[in-house]
Amino acid sequence: MTSLSQLKERFHKTIAKKMCSVKDMPNCPNDKCSCAISAEIKAYWWFVIPKGYPQLSIFDFDGKTRAGKTILDPIKALDAKKKLIQYCWNGIPVDKLSERNDKTEALLRHFSVINKRRERGSSMVIYGSEEGSNPSGKTFAASIVMKEAIAQRRKPEFCNQTYFWVDYQTLKKSLQDGDTASVDYETCDWLVVDDIIADVGKIGSQKVQYLSSLFDPFFVYRYNNRLPTILVFRMDVVKFDPSDIFGRGIGRICEDQDTTMVELSGGEGNKIAGQ
């Protein structure tokens, strides 16, 4: 895996060349130039967010794959996009964000409310059943939020924030082992827990008790300290109550009135494409 400092070095070179026509950051002739911070933000995006997503943004969120194949019902995709905009840039009408240009980029900067989400500790739950391996846009949706959180590094007061992206199985193992990473996940400013799934039919009370003892202290800590958590469920959390499966800690985040619920059901791609 490429380290954060390697990514910084790489982006410092490309961005200094592109923005300031010099071969590296120290050669930048401009006083208080933003090239260094732009490179740093880009390095964090590539370091934290899963491959394939850092280069995408809210403008690309249209319920289709990059190849143009429809994977989401257009109305549901629009609903999800509205929720994402409300969480990150409250007040921008969804139709203003169909095209990426200087004007719409400025709009995003002006309307960003992500720091309020951090202050209040407002979480997000992205959920929906999935069939097979068809994409559903869930990781994409989470990446949009994480990108906006990281972009706040351009303001000095947010440049010490920390971010982690972990999948459910890795988090579970980390908590079982009690390793140092589990402390990082528990205390970071922004956390995405991806790929949360349980075999609902096989959940017995002993299993629930076990998961609860493992996860409750972790999620209760994040909840009580108002640290925003983006939970990505590959299952329907309206049909199956997460408290009954994963314990009260996760349940508390899902039930918090400040949590934004975003439904994205996958696996309908072929059906829609075939209509």
Q: Could you tell me if 264 and 60 are in contact, meaning their C-beta atoms sit under 8 angstroms apart?
A: no
Residue 230 to residues 61, 69, 106, 188, 251, Cα–Cα distance (Å): 18, 27, 25, 12, 13
Structure tokens at 205: 């009370």
Query: Whole-angstrom Cα distance, residue 248 to residue 239?
Result: 17
Q: How far is the CB of 37 from Zn ion (least distance, A)?
A: 10
Q: How far is the CB of 39 from Zn ion (least distance, A)?
A: 9
Of 18 and 110, the one with the shorter C-beta distance to Zn ion is 18
Q: How far is the CB of 34 from Zn ion (least distance, A)?
A: 7
Residue type, 17: K
Of 15 and 58, the one with the shorter C-beta distance to Zn ion is 15
Of 35 and 88, the one with the shorter C-beta distance to Zn ion is 35
- CA-CA-CA-CA torsion for 106, 108, 112, 117, nearest 10 degrees? -160
Of 14 and 225, the one with the shorter C-beta distance to Zn ion is 14
Q: Could you tell me if 197 and 91 are in contact, meaning their C-beta atoms sit under 8 angstroms apart?
A: no
Residues that bind Zn ion (CB under 5 A): 20, 28, 30, 33, 35
Q: How far is the CB of 28 from Zn ion (least distance, A)?
A: 3
